[in-house]
């Protein structure tokens, strides 16, 4: 009977254990890449809710993992909504990338890292004909486009994705 009471007492306190865990304010979110117009370069951008170091560890895919490091800056952004949420936008430029080479990377700091992602540096061969995906809305009302775009991107169907709409829905 005592073990049952002890188990019941523990289970009644379990919600407090979960609710008492603070959110991870240093975990990178919204990680994305952009081409800065400079051959051999790529910009990694992400957000955090606390100011942290802006760092990207990267390497050639198939090589020794994260043998290169690049650092950048974080800019405070306060949204214009009534909550006035504060977040930091981190930007790090990777330079000296080999044309058409595949890289693995993650971003963040020792306080929190993103998942590991990969990308292929811009191909500078004059006969290169990139495969584009062009879309205008993530589809909050009818979200068919995002799932399809994610699947096709993961299958390697595109070299470049151009987004001509908004990235969020108010």
Whether residue 42 contacts residue 80, with contact meaning beta carbons closer than 8 Å, is answered with: no
Report how far residue 161's alpha carbon sits from residue 145's, in angstroms, rounded to the nearest whole number: 13
- Containing domain of residue 80, as a range? 29-129
The pTM (predicted TM-score) of the whole model is: 0.78
pLDDT at 32 over 90: yes
What are the Cα distances from residue 65, in Å, to 61, 77, 98, 132? 8, 32, 16, 29
Helices and strands: H and E segment counts in the chain: 2, 11
CATH of the domain at 74: 2.60.40.380
> Max CA-CA distance within the chain?
79
Give the pLDDT score at 138: 65
On whether residue 33 sits in a domain, the answer given is: yes
Q: What is the mean pLDDT of the chain?
A: 85
On whether residue 122 sits in a domain, the answer given is: yes
Beta-carbon contacts of 137 under 8 Å, excluding residues fewer than 6 positions away, are 145, 165, 166
Find the Cα–Cα–Cα–Cα dihedral 63, 65, 68, 73, rounded to 10°.
Answer: 140
Beta-carbon contacts of 34 under 8 Å, excluding residues fewer than 6 positions away, are 42, 43, 45
- 72-76, 78-82, 111-115: the lowest-pLDDT one: 78-82
Structural domain count of the chain? 1
Give me the residue label for tokens 């254990």.
Answer: 17
On whether residue 147 sits in a domain, the answer given is: no
Return the HEC string of 77-139.
Answer: EECCCCCCCEEEEEEEEECCCCCCCEEEEEEEECCEECCCEEEECCCCCCCCCCCEEEECCCC
On whether residue 106 sits in a domain, the answer given is: yes
pLDDT at 11 over 50: no
On whether residue 134 sits in a domain, the answer given is: no
Give the pLDDT score at 6: 52
On whether residue 113 sits in a domain, the answer given is: yes
Q: What is the mean pLDDT of residues 40-64?
A: 97
pLDDT at 16 over 60: no
On whether residue 135 sits in a domain, the answer given is: no
On whether residue 136 sits in a domain, the answer given is: no
Give the pLDDT score at 144: 74
């Amino acid at each position: 009977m005592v073990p049952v009471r002890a188990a019941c007492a523990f289970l009644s306190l379990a919600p407090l254990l979960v609710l008492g865990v603070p959110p991870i304010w240093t975990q990178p979110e919204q990680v994305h890449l952009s081409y800065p117009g400079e051959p051999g370069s790529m910009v990694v951008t992400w957000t955090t809710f606390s100011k942290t170091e802006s760092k990207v560890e990267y390497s050639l895919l198939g090589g020794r993992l994260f043998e290169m490091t690049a650092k950048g800056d974080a800019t405070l952004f306060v949204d214009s909504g009534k909550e006035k949420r504060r977040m930091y936008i981190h930007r790090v430029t990777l330079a000296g990338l080999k044309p058409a080479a595949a890289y693995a990377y993650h971003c963040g700091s020792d306080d929190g890292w993103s998942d590991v992602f990969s990308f292929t540096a811009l191909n500078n061969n004059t006969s290169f004909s990139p495969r584009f995906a062009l879309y205008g809305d993530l589809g909050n009302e009818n979200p068919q486009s995002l799932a399809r775009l994610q699947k096709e991107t993961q299958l390697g169907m595109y070299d470049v994705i151009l987004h001509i709409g908004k990235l969020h829905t108010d």
